[in-house]
Amino acid sequence: MRIASNIGLIAWNCALAASETASNCMSFKRRRQGLNRTMKSAVVQLPGLNRDRDMIAALTKISGKAPVTVWQTETELPDVDLIVIPGGFSYGDYLRCGAIAARMPVMQAIKAKAEQGVKVLGVCNGFQILVEAGLLPGALMRNASLKFVCREVKLEVVNADTDFTRAYAKGQIIRSPVAHHDGNYFADSETLKSIEGNGQVVFRYAEGTNPNGSMGDIAGVMNKAGNVLGMMPHPENLIEAAHGGSDGRGIFASALEVIAA
Amino acid sequence: MIKARVTVTLKNGVLDPQGKAIEGALGALGFDGIGQVRQGKVFDLQIETGDKAKAEADLKAMCEKLLANTVIENYSISFA
């Protein structure tokens, strides 16, 4: 993992004021208990996923509570507020990235939870699994360069009025590492138009840093209801000073409501 | 037993960077006049049944559920 040397710390919370009006248009009634309750999370584990430990560390550090781990064969999920599918190479990327993982029993359980309004975050391979499972629109194809990319990119927060991005301001540029071979977002023109119109495009690669040829520089997409987000970049790898920055922290802080909403 | 072949190809309009790279490589080998190369996948299946209609229905379901991603891919089924 290469972390850029410039320590351009953009405080993730500088945007709080701007986004605290977080309206109810994109969020369910999930902000019920407010700040006093520790939000619970779960991390899904499948053979070939390898970013689960990074994700567990990030969630533990940010929420103060270790996530529950859930194996792919589970058909019932614990009662949690956030389910995270981490990155990696589930099933060796055989057939298509995320294709086989998306058909495992745990995904049916995740679908059911998502329909109830539980937040679901898929990062990298997790994003690929979510699109393969039909929980998110579009598809992720081989990078236009045909090369695996492992570097830092800039992301524009396109929609800061979501349960995952409340800690940022609209238009804010944040740093994030990426590491993938198949992150080239594709959707047919009708779908593209609809997700752009609905505010479902949450992150875009900014400042010419699109690493994979994604349409519209799309880096992160959510479902129409606003409780399922998939993104290729790895925010869990930029959450503290030891990482050289904490730009990614806001996503978890928002989703786990450890900031004033 | 029925032997079937499923062919999965990218839909028209979907960018195929791998096909493009192969096209370029063929050109570099001196094969002229190649309009376009599109890469796809082939699956050969042996199905333990004598009922061709059922096999075809099952194969269609397999394509829809797993073998093809119908967001970006088309599929066709043929029998040996």
B interface residues, A as partner, C-beta within 8 Å: 13-15, 17-18, 21, 65-67, 69, 71-72
Q: With contacts defined as CB-CB under 8 Å, which chain A residues touch B17?
A: 141-146, 184, 213
Residue corresponding to tokens 């503290």: A240
Stated pTM of the model: 0.86
CB contact under 8 A, A103 and B72: no
A153 vs A238: CA distance, rounded Å: 12
CB contact under 8 A, A95 and B66: yes
Amino acid A37: pLDDT: 65
pLDDT tens per residue across span B35-69: 999 999 999 999 999 999 999 999 999 999 999 99
Amino acid A259: pLDDT: 59
pLDDT tens per residue across span A48-87: 999 999 999 999 999 999 999 999 999 999 999 999 999 9
* CB-nearest partner of B17 from A132, A142, A187: A142
CB contact under 8 A, B71 and A141: no
Token pair for residue A9? 């710390």
Q: What angle do CA A229, A99, A252 make, to 5 degrees?
A: 25
Ranges under pLDDT 50 in chain A: 1-36, 260-261
Amino acid A257: pLDDT: 86
pLDDT tens per residue across span B7-30: 999 999 898 989 999 999 999 999
Token pair for residue B38? 């599109």
ipTM comes to 0.87
Amino acid B80: pLDDT: 86
Of all residues in chain A, what percent carry a pLDDT higher than 70? Answer: 85
Amino acid A5: pLDDT: 39
* CB-nearest partner of B72 from A95, A143, A186: A186
